[in-house]
Amino acid sequence: MSEVTQNTYWKSLNELAQNKEYKNFVEREFPENATELTDGVSRKGFLRVMGASIALAGFAACRRPVQKILPYSNQPEDIVPGIPLFYATAMPFQGSLTGLVVENHEGRPTKVEGNDLHPGSWGNTNSYHQATMLEMYDPDRSRFPLRNGEKATSNDFVAFAQEYFADRNKRVAFISEANSSPTFTALKQGALQKFSNAKWVTYEPFGEDNAIEGNLIAFGSRLRTHYNYSNADVVVSLDDDFLAPTHPNNVEYAKQITGRRKVTSTSDSMSRIYSVENGFTLTGSYADNRLRVKASEVEAFANALAGALSTRINGLNAFRSVSNQFTGSEFISALADDLASNIGRSAVSIGLAHSANAHAVVAAINTSLNNIGSSVNYLQVPSFDNQNNTQAFTDVVTELKAGNFDAVVMIGTNPVYSSSFNNFSDAIKNVDEVFHLGTYKDESAKSASWHVSRSHFLESWGDGFSFGGARSVIQPQIQPLHDSLSEIEFLNAIVYEEKTSGYDLVQNTFKGYYGARFENRWKDILHDGIDIRDGYDRANVRLRTVSPSQTSPVDGIEVVIRPDASVFDGRFANLGWLQELPDPMTKITWDNVALMSPATAASLGVENEDLVNVAVNGKSVTIAAWIQPGHADDSITLNVGYGREGIGRVADIGSENSQLLDPSEKYGGVDIYPLHTALFVSGAISKASGSYKIACVQDHHSLEGRDMYRKATLEKYKDTPDYASFKYVHKYPVPGMKEAAELGEDQPISLFDEQTYSADEPQWGMAIDLNSCFGCGVCVIACQSENNIPVIGKREVNRGREMHWIRNDRYYVGDENNPTAVHQPVPCMHCELAPCEQVCPVAATTHSNDGMNQMTYNRCIGTRYCANNCPFKVRRFNFFNYPKEYLTTGEDPDIIQMAMNPEVTVRFRGVMEKCTYCVQRVNRAKINTKIETGSPKPADGTVVTACQQACPADAIYFGDLTDENSTVAKMKRNERNYLMLEELNVRPRTSYIAKLTNPNPVLVDETNQEPAH
Amino acid sequence: MSKYEYVPEPALVKGNHDFASITKLVTDVNLRPTPKLWYFFMLISNALLGVFLVAVGYLIWEGTGIWGLMNPVGWGWAIINFVWWVGIGHAGTLISAILFLFRQDWRTAINRFAEAMTIFAVICALMFPGIHVGRIWVIYWVFPIPNQMAMWPNFNSPLLWDVFAVSTYFTVSLLFWYVGLVPDLATLRDKATDKIRKFAYGIGALGWTGSNRAWWNYEKAYMILAGLATPLVLSVHTIVSFDFAVSMIPGWHTTIFPPYFVAGAIFSGFAMVLTLMLVARKVYGMEDIMTNDHMEKMNIIILVTGSMVGFAYIMEFFIAWYSGVEYEKAIFMLRATGPYAWAYWIMMLCNVISPQVFWSKKLRRNVGFTFFISIVVNIGMWFERFVITVSSLANDYLPSSWDYFSPTIWDVLTYVGTFGIFFTFFLAFLRFLPMVAIAEIKAVLPQADPHNYDENQEYHPHVVEIPKPQVEKV
């Protein structure tokens, strides 16, 4: 993107028109709407239509809103209306960047995709990356700086900073989120030089401090552990949920893990994953052998594992004397045998939140297993502080309380919320000036004397490194929507007392790197989004003596505090897409719960939705209980990020009086931070009175012995490659095949006239590899972003009206206390003999020539017969007019509207909708191919659906079935390919590739059961 | 002498009525001043009608989301109520057409009444397919109207068949009813004293003169319409059952549905006729015309159709097991033991167990008890449709989609509101139209039998001698 001074096209439409709505929007201030923010009705309205519409303010009673459009008077270069442009950028999260490519329509970004060239992405994303689009357009974002709660401008702030920070003797405490940016790191050093009495702390509630400190113990320097699971045949996760989006590098790890487990023939091998954890995580559900232990016992397990290995390999002599509850267990010895026989081809990891000592033990194990250099690398990260940040933060809080600082500067963090355990809000009362840079007017912003709105990364310049150390530039996709500063502009104003654009700051950094070759290499990095010639150095490590760590298992009930899969540490709490994304394991939306095992729940006498009191050191929270099969006993898992007030309409807690006589419902969850900050702590739990309604999208968790999900062990697959076939599963052939054979047909006979397809049309089909899918749910968010799917709110989800076009079914298999879990994404099957098409009285759903089952929204009258007759229940109905509500109750619809994909119709109330196989992408590819080559059939790989594009496991294959060499056609020829409900003869175009597991044969127990047939 | 007993048909009209007293008995209801009680009940009915209009207005304003519908359960109370009302609407045409063709003279006492009920029930039923759609303003797309989109409806869809079946049924029933009314309207015209009534009934009477020619045409038309209506009695609920049977949802996809739905419809229709008749004959003093003999005959039909329905329920279970289809087996087990078991057992109790009491002649002839059972049967039949519609959808193929349906207040109000429509029409009918087919009932009086007159046209009623039972001696 060479154009730096972006046109403000999307704002200028209204600006040009100077219409009333725009003026209202410009004039509007936060406090004026304070009442509106807590109003149930407007919140409900907002939620219903977060999906929003492209329509501008019209008449509330109109059936279709009126929209004003204006033509370009001066056509900008490179922009062809209707043709999207793609620019590279990168998303910072937890001190690492993930490379992205952003789809722009006429100057406004609409969709985030992965960057093929970027090693933190390899073309894929996680749900946070997808949802970040909504964050930028979030109407509740901080729109202007606040000086003591009053509206100010960023220029006011810069002017204030020039004056205030002129005094170099100011005692300033900088509290920043983790940031890999070299520009930022240079400014950090500048700040520490300028203010000799300053302290700098990098504060992340769920950061990697312990991992870094563990490496300091093991190797003598602060390093990052970076795994390469492509080289690992045996993977051991000790409570390390590296497949979940809460891990800063989950996309790369998911890619590597699932890549090592791609099986296309019986001669292929796959890695084996062991998981030891208290909760049931995505990694645990994807593992071949899972052991549930309390979180506080995981460290003991690591010691015991090192002890078991010490008798098998060299280098762990210090652990020979380890003896704890795990020593000599079957699991440990089987695992140790497996590791010892895969020297140099294994990877052992432990959750980031576990103690530094535990990380040191794991580092020792990996070193002794000779994994370093192949599956495990240690990276030197220049942005790391030369201190134990956990300790430093505690110290700074103590010093703040003692009044040792004049000013505190919080950059991107929200410690008032996330460190409420430390009473951080009291600490900053002893400070003259509290500066806060943040995306929302959050808890810290409200306590600050200066709150500065933070530019979203999609609208600001920046730079940084991926988790593995690849250098990228963050380039903006749009001019900042609000009066905001990026973190480097903010820090620059403090350190150098001037307002310099982020563009200049980043360019200066890169001029320093590239020198004379700057012009070309700058263009290259902007184009590619990455400079592969540059990155973190691998450290040559020498293991110091690591001794078994002192463990402190919790007797009785342990309370485990973790980031949430949807809202992480609370930073994504106002994103409706994420709030409504079902939790990958519990399938709960909109709230957090106290997860516990069935046995623990039984001993407490609680059931799902019963309120419980969780008490830790005299503090307690009251929260709904939820039974998580497979959870460790006597362990309660709580997720943070909820229980917010004054953040935004999505995040805030409240209650909603819905329809007449419906019980009032509460939403927003419970704040867990006041309990504790560490991973686990001893606590107490008791049943409280009352219950709390939880919106869970899947009520039934058993397959009921049905064959929708088919899996087998790798060994069994090698014996019986057709284990997933209908005939093998049911012991008889597909009904109708015998008759078809007599007629010389290869598909079961049908009652109906079959659709005939012309030979010059491509025939689209999808295959979903269940062996790759680990259930993260990014496909759901990607689909939501691509297809303008509305967010409907907790009440509507509770009524069972979720709108997601692709859902992720999760079933438990086996014993309730210790089951395995399987994940199955279900989009529309695009049946060739579609039952929905037969029953529509007005022919609103029909078949296209290229084999897709299509919905004609304009023709639909909404009988819902199609949805009833869909055996897969993938059709979604607009029970209310979600977009209309938005137009009448939203304060400035033009902002959220910009997040919509203009290529996809916003559906009106009363019509059915469902997965379209991203028909807009299909048709764009068909048109382009026709223009470029004259062929009606796009080449394989040209059409990528949104779910397929986002999937870090590459579990979804899509393409032209008439092309025998297309990937999807090959996958469908695989013997593991099966059709859901094949006996119905609806002939789905979407098929599944059956799951394989690779459990340790020594440990075959109920956790490795196949679904019963 | 035959060895069999001769049991003469009891007189269809009790009491010592002649033509004039019958005319007076029936037309008095329409011609005397409106009783206060009528206004009272009309007010209640109008209030319920208002409830219906508000519920529908809110529905159209907000969307079908105000109902308890959700993802697996796309059809709820609206379709249940539709099928229920259509079912009720079966009795009238069955009584007037099929019993007419079979020369069952006892029908004359109740046919007018039952036909009116049919028409009003079908009106109630027709409300639901209209309002339950997401976009009511384009509901006319279901009709094959030539249009600029060059789009026909989808003739494969059972919902479209429904449109034709129910609208045809409604049209023919209405015509049939009206044709039967013509001679009686003429009677009212002639009896009425004020101008407005004379004029209004005169319009309806179509210039009826009572001539031989008129009677000849009337009888032919009535016979033809009875012939037309007879297959419709069977077809309409058959096609309604296709809405379910043609789809592929376990519990819906069964070939037993057409006969089982028709039997159920007659079952519920007769129950509804009884409910209304027992009240109306008491209020209007029509016990001489609508006698306990009628009630007993109808109770026998309820017993027969109830047993057919019960047989169908059991057969469904057997076939589910016999088919070997796991989803079919599962849904029937779930109906009886799953989340909707309460509804299933209400249905079994009301529809299968309760009518069996009518094996007892004493209970068949007990007015209070019959009234109670007639209501129980209609509750049971509502639950039958609930069980079929909701439980099948809620627990279909993929367990991940399973969910529990709960209605909202708007579901309830819409249903209750249809009683407002029904009773508003019905009360108006009772007030303004003869509730008994006067001309027809006269035809079954002994006075109408030419054998009861001698050569001089003197009336000598034939006295039936009931012979003593001849017990065969062994």
* Interatomic CA distance for residues A22 and A69, integer angstroms: 14
pLDDT at A1008: 44
Instruction: Quote the tokens at residue A428.
Output: 């900053």
Q: Strand pairing of A594-596 and A635-639? A: antiparallel
Q: What percent of chain A has pLDDT over 90?
A: 34
C-alpha R_g of chain B: 24
pLDDT tens string B50-83: 999 999 999 998 889 899 999 899 998 999 999 9
pLDDT at A578 over 70: yes
Region of A657 please: left (phi>0), alpha (psi -120 to 50) or beta: beta
Neighbour-count burial of A618, counting CB atoms closer than 10 A to its CB (0-12 exposed, 13-18 middle, 19+ buried) = exposed
CB A913 within 8 A of CB A784: no
The verdict on a CB contact (< 8 Å) between A877 and B397 is no
Of A802, A839, A873, the CB nearest to B398: A873
* Interatomic CA distance for residues B99 and B298, integer angstroms: 12
The verdict on a CB contact (< 8 Å) between B134 and A873 is no
A572-581, A753-762, B22-31, B247-256: which range is least confident on average? A753-762
Average pLDDT, chain B: 88
Q: Measure Cα distances from A302 to A211, A237, A366 in Å.
A: 14, 10, 12
Q: Measure Cα distances from B152 to A297, A861, B146, B148, B271 in Å.
A: 68, 14, 7, 11, 40
Length of chain A: 1013
How many CB atoms sit inside 10 A of residue A822's CB? 23
Interchain contact A698–B (C-beta under 8 A) = yes
* Nearest chain B residue (CA) to A703: B399
Q: Measure Cα distances from B326 to A513, A725, A884, B330, B396 in Å.
A: 68, 17, 44, 6, 11
Average pLDDT, chain A: 84
Average pLDDT over residues A691-713: 86
How many CB atoms sit inside 10 A of residue A2's CB? 9
At residue A209's C-alpha, the angle toward residues A204 and A215, to 5°, is: 160
**Which amino acid is present at A889?**
T
Q: At residue B283, what are phi and psi to the nearest 5 degrees? A: -65, -45
The verdict on a CB contact (< 8 Å) between B154 and A840 is yes
- How many A×B Cβ pairs under 8 Å? 172
pLDDT tens string B379-421: 999 999 999 999 999 988 999 989 899 899 999 999 999 999 9
At residue A334's C-alpha, the angle toward residues A331 and A339, to 5°, is: 120
Q: Strand pairing of A680-682 and A537-538? A: unpaired
pLDDT at B4: 65
> Which residues of chain A does B248 touch, with a Cβ-Cβ cutoff of 8 Å?
835, 869, 871, 984, 986
Rounded to a whole number, what is the distance in Å from the CA of A74 to chain B's nearest CA?
38
> Which residues of chain B does A801 touch, with a Cβ-Cβ cutoff of 8 Å?
65, 70-71
Scored b (16 or more CB within 10 A) or e, A183-210 reads bbbbbbeebeebbeebbbbbbbbbbbbb
Q: Measure Cα distances from A91 to A95, A100, A118, A128, A133 in Å.
A: 10, 7, 12, 9, 11
DSSP tag of B97: I
Q: Is A274 helix (H, G, I), strand (E, B) or coil?
A: strand
The pLDDT-based confidence of B21 (bands split at 50, 70, 90) is confident
pLDDT at A61: 38
pLDDT at A551 over 80: no
* Interatomic CA distance for residues B330 and A98, integer angstroms: 48
C-alpha R_g of chain A: 28
Interchain contact A729–B (C-beta under 8 A) = no
> Which residues of chain B does A704 touch, with a Cβ-Cβ cutoff of 8 Å?
330, 399
Of the residues B135, B252, B340, the best mutation for testing chain A's interface (the one with the most A CB atoms within 10 Å of its CB) is B135
* Interatomic CA distance for residues A229 and A953, integer angstroms: 13
* Interatomic CA distance for residues B144 and A949, integer angstroms: 43
The verdict on a CB contact (< 8 Å) between A661 and B408 is yes
* Interatomic CA distance for residues A993 and A972, integer angstroms: 8
Instruction: Quote the tokens at residue B447.
Output: 């006075």
> Which residues of chain B does A871 touch, with a Cβ-Cβ cutoff of 8 Å?
248-249, 396-398
Q: At residue A573, what are phi and psi to the nearest 5 degrees? A: -65, -25
Of B134, B138, B160, the CB nearest to A878: B134
Q: Measure Cα distances from A922 to A510, A789, A952, A962, B168 in Å.
A: 39, 19, 21, 15, 45
> Which residues of chain B does A702 touch, with a Cβ-Cβ cutoff of 8 Å?
399
Rounded to a whole number, what is the distance in Å from the CA of B137 to chain A's nearest CA?
8
Region of A544 please: left (phi>0), alpha (psi -120 to 50) or beta: beta
Contacts of A170 (CB under 8 A, 6+ apart): A164, A195, A197, A198, A406, A407
Of A708, A800, A880, the CB nearest to B398: A708
pLDDT tens string A884-924: 655 445 566 677 778 888 889 888 889 999 999 999 999 99
pLDDT tens string A15-51: 334 444 444 444 444 333 333 333 333 444 444 444 3
* Nearest chain B residue (CA) to A839: B157
The pLDDT-based confidence of A1005 (bands split at 50, 70, 90) is low
pLDDT at A759: 84
The verdict on a CB contact (< 8 Å) between A800 and B160 is no
The verdict on a CB contact (< 8 Å) between B75 and A703 is no
> Which residues of chain B does A841 touch, with a Cβ-Cβ cutoff of 8 Å?
142, 153-154, 157, 159-160, 163
The verdict on a CB contact (< 8 Å) between A703 and B141 is no
The verdict on a CB contact (< 8 Å) between A699 and B393 is no
pLDDT at A911: 92
Of A826, A867, A880, the CB nearest to B74: A867
Which A residues, 33 through 92, put their C-beta within 8 Å of a C-beta on chain B? 63
Of B70, B160, B400, the CB nearest to A809: B400
Contacts of B332 (CB under 8 A, 6+ apart): B251, B316, B317, B320, B321
Which A residues, 621 through 680, put their C-beta within 8 Å of a C-beta on chain B? 659-662
Rounded to a whole number, what is the distance in Å from the CA of B451 to chain A's nearest CA?
58
**Residue found under tokens 């062996």:** A771
pLDDT tens string A386-434: 888 888 998 998 888 888 888 899 998 999 998 888 888 888 888 888 9
Q: Strand pairing of A990-993 and A619-627? A: unpaired
Of A702, A810, A843, the CB nearest to B153: A843
- Write down the ipTM of this complex: 0.90
* Interatomic CA distance for residues B143 and B136, integer angstroms: 13
* Interatomic CA distance for residues A464 and A474, integer angstroms: 8
Rounded to a whole number, what is the distance in Å from the CA of B446 to chain A's nearest CA?
54
CA neighbours closer than 13 Å in the CB half-sphere of residue B47: 6
Interchain contact A878–B (C-beta under 8 A) = yes
The pLDDT-based confidence of B305 (bands split at 50, 70, 90) is very high
Which A residues, 831 through 850, put their C-beta within 8 Å of a C-beta on chain B? 835, 838-843
Interchain contact A751–B (C-beta under 8 A) = no
Of the residues A879, A885, A982, the best mutation for testing chain B's interface (the one with the most B CB atoms within 10 Å of its CB) is A879
Instruction: Quote the tokens at residue A672.
Output: 């867990």
Average pLDDT over residues B189-193: 88
Instruction: Quote the tokens at residue B329.
Output: 């087996």
pLDDT at A3 over 50: no
Neighbour-count burial of A156, counting CB atoms closer than 10 A to its CB (0-12 exposed, 13-18 middle, 19+ buried) = middle
pLDDT at B463: 66
CB A144 within 8 A of CB A482: yes
Interchain contact A876–B (C-beta under 8 A) = yes
Of B156, B403, B409, the CB nearest to A838: B156
DSSP tag of A447: H
pLDDT at A664 over 80: no
CB B113 within 8 A of CB B276: yes
Q: Measure Cα distances from A706 to A260, A710, A875 in Å.
A: 29, 9, 21
Which A residues, 803 through 822, put their C-beta within 8 Å of a C-beta on chain B? 807, 809-811
Q: Measure Cα distances from A277 to A240, A245, A870 in Å.
A: 8, 17, 38
The verdict on a CB contact (< 8 Å) between B400 and A698 is yes
Average pLDDT over residues B89-108: 85
pLDDT at A655: 64
For B239, the enclosing helix (H) or strand (E) is helix B212-245
The verdict on a CB contact (< 8 Å) between A839 and B156 is yes
pLDDT tens string A564-576: 999 998 899 888 8
Rounded to a whole number, what is the distance in Å from the CA of B381 to chain A's nearest CA?
22
Scored b (16 or more CB within 10 A) or e, A506-540 reads bbebbeebbeeeeeebbebbbebbbbeeebbeebe
Residue from A368, A317, A347 nearest A548 by CA: A317
How many CB atoms sit inside 10 A of residue B246's CB? 20
**Residue found under tokens 């033990």:** A361
* Interatomic CA distance for residues A456 and A73, integer angstroms: 29
Average pLDDT over residues A457-466: 90
pLDDT tens string A277-324: 998 999 999 999 999 999 888 988 998 999 888 888 888 888 888 888
> Which residues of chain A does B153 touch, with a Cβ-Cβ cutoff of 8 Å?
841-843
Of A796, A802, A865, the CB nearest to B159: A865
The pLDDT-based confidence of A11 (bands split at 50, 70, 90) is very low
Interchain contact A911–B (C-beta under 8 A) = yes
Of A698, A700, A838, the CB nearest to B157: A838
The verdict on a CB contact (< 8 Å) between B409 and A876 is no
Please report how the helices A154-164 and A487-495 are oriented relative to each other, as an axis angle in degrees rounded to 10: 30
* Nearest chain B residue (CA) to A752: B156
pLDDT at A70: 65
> Which residues of chain A does B141 touch, with a Cβ-Cβ cutoff of 8 Å?
842, 859, 861
pLDDT at A9: 33
> Which residues of chain B does A809 touch, with a Cβ-Cβ cutoff of 8 Å?
398, 400
Residue from A617, A611, A947 nearest A785 by CA: A947
